[in-house]
């Protein structure tokens, strides 16, 4: 049977979908339900459903980010969005990220049934049978619009928080993907690992701050997120080929 997960912050809708659709007609069974975005992501990662029906206007989660994360890590999973959010541009972006159907609440039963029929058809086209366990993708990394969306948002988050004690896990948590998956995506799209990206952003900002002669090198190191000036000095020289002081002397004539 195809596994179906349902995510909505309105229990009456979640229960109604689970009980009200004749899932067996399409060789489907409901494998679990969740009531917010983070629960939904956890449910998908645990149950590995073939089909997801979800709202995207839920508290505490960016709907498009959630969809991108799920499609990026589970590219074969079919997703139907069922929501009261009526922005056309939002719907277009969701479809670009790989959503199969975008249905507005309240939806008629025939719309839901058409969505289920379409999604099961897409699974069959992909060679995913309801009677055969799905093979895990392992180390395969798909380059999709969802992956690009994830990287773009990860980079934005790093640029906004470079001065914090930022770790790969912090960024991954914000964009709802695993550390492993984010690491692979960053490397594929940028050719750099997380530390290289973070240090590059920090050094670029440090070079800007060096134009202010009132700031000491130790002040700048702390301002851009380094815990000690010695570490900053090593990273800076590796990146620029000269020490921070030499760079400052050459570019603003101050030490």
Taking the domains of the chain in order of start, what are their residue ranges?
2-125, 145-252
pTM of this structure: 0.87
Alpha helix (H) ranges present in the chain? 11-20, 37-47, 63-73, 88-96, 109-125, 145-161, 168-174, 179-190, 194-209, 217-223, 229-240, 244-252
Please report, in tens digits, the pLDDT of each residue of the chain (255 residues total): 999 999 999 999 999 999 999 999 999 999 999 998 889 999 999 999 999 999 988 877 888 899 999 999 999 999 999 988 778 888 899 999 999 999 998 888 999 999 999 999 999 998 998 876 666 555 556 678 999 999 999 999 999 999 999 999 999 999 999 999 999 999 999 999 999 999 999 999 999 999 999 999 999 999 999 999 999 999 999 999 999 999 999 987 544
Q: Does domain 2-125 sit in CATH 3.30.200.20?
A: no
Compute the CA torsion angle 99, 143, 203, 247 (nearest 10 deg): -140
Q: Taking a C-beta distance cutoff of 8 angstroms, is the pair 7, 32 a contact?
A: no
Q: Which CATH superfamily is domain 145-252 in?
A: Homeodomain-like (1.10.10.60)
Among residues 44, 38, 61, 39, the alpha carbon closest in space to that of 4 is found at 44
* Residues 35 and 113 sit within 8 Å (Cβ to Cβ): no
């Amino acid at each position: 049977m195809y596994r179906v997960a349902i995510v909505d912050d309105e229990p009456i809708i979640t229960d109604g979908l689970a009980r009200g659709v004749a899932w067996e007609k399409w060789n489907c069974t409901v494998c679990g339900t969740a009531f917010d975005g983070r629960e939904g992501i956890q449910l998908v990662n645990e149950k590995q459903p073939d089909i997801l029906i979800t709202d995207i206007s839920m508290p505490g989660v960016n709907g498009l980010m959630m969809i991108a994360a799920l499609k990026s890590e589970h590219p074969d999973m079919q997703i139907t969005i069922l929501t009261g959010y009526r922005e056309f541009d939002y719907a277009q972006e969701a479809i670009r990220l790989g959503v199969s159907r975008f249905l507005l609440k309240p939806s008629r039963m025939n719309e839901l049934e058409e969505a289920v029929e379409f999604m099961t058809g897409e699974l069959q086209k992909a060679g995913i049978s309801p009677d055969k366990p799905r093979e895990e993708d392992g180390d395969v990394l798909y380059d999709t619009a969802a992956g690009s969306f994830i990287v773009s948002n990860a980079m934005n988050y790093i640029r906004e928080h470079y001065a914090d004690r930022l770790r790969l896990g912090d960024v991954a948590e914000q964009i709802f993907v695993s550390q492993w998956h984010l690491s692979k995506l960053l490397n594929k799209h940028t050719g750099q690992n997380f530390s290289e990206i973070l240090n590059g952003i920090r050094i670029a900002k440090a070079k800007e701050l060096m134009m202010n002669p009132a700031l000491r090198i130790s002040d700048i190191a702390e301002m851009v997120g380094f815990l000690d000036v010695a570490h900053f000095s090593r990273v800076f020289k590796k990146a620029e080929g000269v020490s921070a002081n030499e760079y400052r002397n050459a570019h603003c004539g101050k030490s």
